[in-house]
Chains A and B, each alone.
Chain A
Amino acid sequence: MSTTHHLRINENAYEVVVDHYDTPLLYVLRDNLGLKGTKFGCGNGQCGSCTVLVDGRAAKSCELPAWSMEGKSITTIEGLGTIDHLHPLQQAILDFQAGQCGYCLSGIIMTAAELIQSDPHPSRDKVVAKLAANLCRCGAHTRIVKAIESAWRKAAPGAAQ
């Protein structure tokens, strides 16, 4: 039986209809709303590819039923920054060329976004502890950590033009 939910995503109000009461936020974002930046990786909260911010806290959207998100403020990678107005974390990822395939990056950036809200200049230890639940398969970790550490610093030494 379909149900209707009112969600606030990236400062916009949406009314979404889902057929299954347990439909996770991930599928609402990607399929109902076309917000493809949030990735499907495992479907059971073990990889972090689908991380979004819920009221400013990093959360795995594959495990959050859409109904439970009513009244909350959701931010996806699309709401964090756009190609024309990159968030400092996105800019830092490009400055450090901190990615290979890039599939894990949206989730990692969202996880890091929670961290740097409270701590703009996190230590390496804080960054790696925060990212311990996000997986990367290509081995871009060291660059990603450096990018996050210095996202808020002006003079990020660009690895490339």
Chain B
Amino acid sequence: MTGREFESRRGFRVPGDGRRVGTESSPAAARRLTSGALLLLLAFCLSPPPARAQLAVRGETVHTMAGRAVTDGVVLVRDGKIERVGPAASVQIPAGYKVVRARVVTPGLIDAHTVVGLSGYLNQPHDQMQLERSAPLQPELRATDAYDARERLVEWLRGFGVTTIHTGHGPGSLVSGQTMIAKTAGESVDEAALVPVAMVAATLGDGGRAEGGRAPGTHAKMFAMLRAELLKAQEYDRKQQAAKEGERPARDLRAEVLARVVRRELPLLVTVHRAHNIVAALRLAKEFNLRLVLDGAAESYLVADQIKAAGVPVIVHPTMFRAAGEAENLSMETAAALRKAGVHVALQSGFEGYVPKTRVVLFEAAAAAANGLSFEEALATVTIDAARLLGVEKRVGSIEAGKDADLALFDGDPFEYTTHVTAVIINGRLVSEEAR
């Protein structure tokens, strides 16, 4: 089943049917409705679903995240892409475009690190696929083999304006597996995936220690094991490159993935909280010339200069993350401190093992906006800066012509507790109109 069929079956948009709060049909669409509603219905039943409606999103304030916010702005959406954006005075809404209004429009939000889709909301063994505990190093585990596009938390995040997530294997073992980048729409992983293999996830701290006398039992051992594995990957890569056609050594799925890491094709996403472990991770990245992305990084404010010097970006822990364990010294102002030091920062919902089963990155950005970041800076951590960090800025993260039409609509300041998300648009489709 295609995504379009799925959306139609669910009763999502077809031209002219939108009599819901916050939306209105353009005059042309209304005429079509009155002149041929029955015909349209008949056609809808008998033939493939019609092409998606073209949309005109009209916002009192449009935060494009590409230049200054536009007052009384219009975003034209055509065939899933942003066609044009600008002030209403200069952007004419073509006939047939369905008009959706909002007080505030932002790019669809990006959660720079989560486990939603792999870690289900029931929290039962059958829906917890973010961590395989049988071995400490399993980079060959693909996120795409585990992502459930229909998981309830995917829909939950989507309802709060989150349209892109970087998700996959979670923290909890030395190398837990791969991550992917997905849209929060689509019925299957193939429909949802934006980048099927995004990063390789590692944990360098207490979370990565094995229990029961198994290795790695200490932080130093974790680094020793990871270094050995990266050396093997370098060797594997060298042999593969040097071999003549038909004489290549047997494929090793694990070494193959780590070879992509040592070739800098895939970043190593390292969940790490203590300052001294962060420094050790920077040392490792330098030794193997890795593309490192720091994750969590509770005490990163202590070593912001070193992180900046290494040119390493940080996906900061949720602003409201629990101050406990290795993250006991976390600060709500870390995103602001790192940004001030010139470090590239994005925010995440992270991993939750109990209640609530996930956080919502909109709320975490809101808390960051109240703790040192400006409104624009906080919004950037969950839009354009997150997109750049994840390498998907050509597709998502800002409202610019040619980019995917992923938008979040609000009835007030997006960060205020009492504001609602009034509509969410992904790939040019209205996927949620329930006020949340």
Verify that A and B bind, or say they do not: no
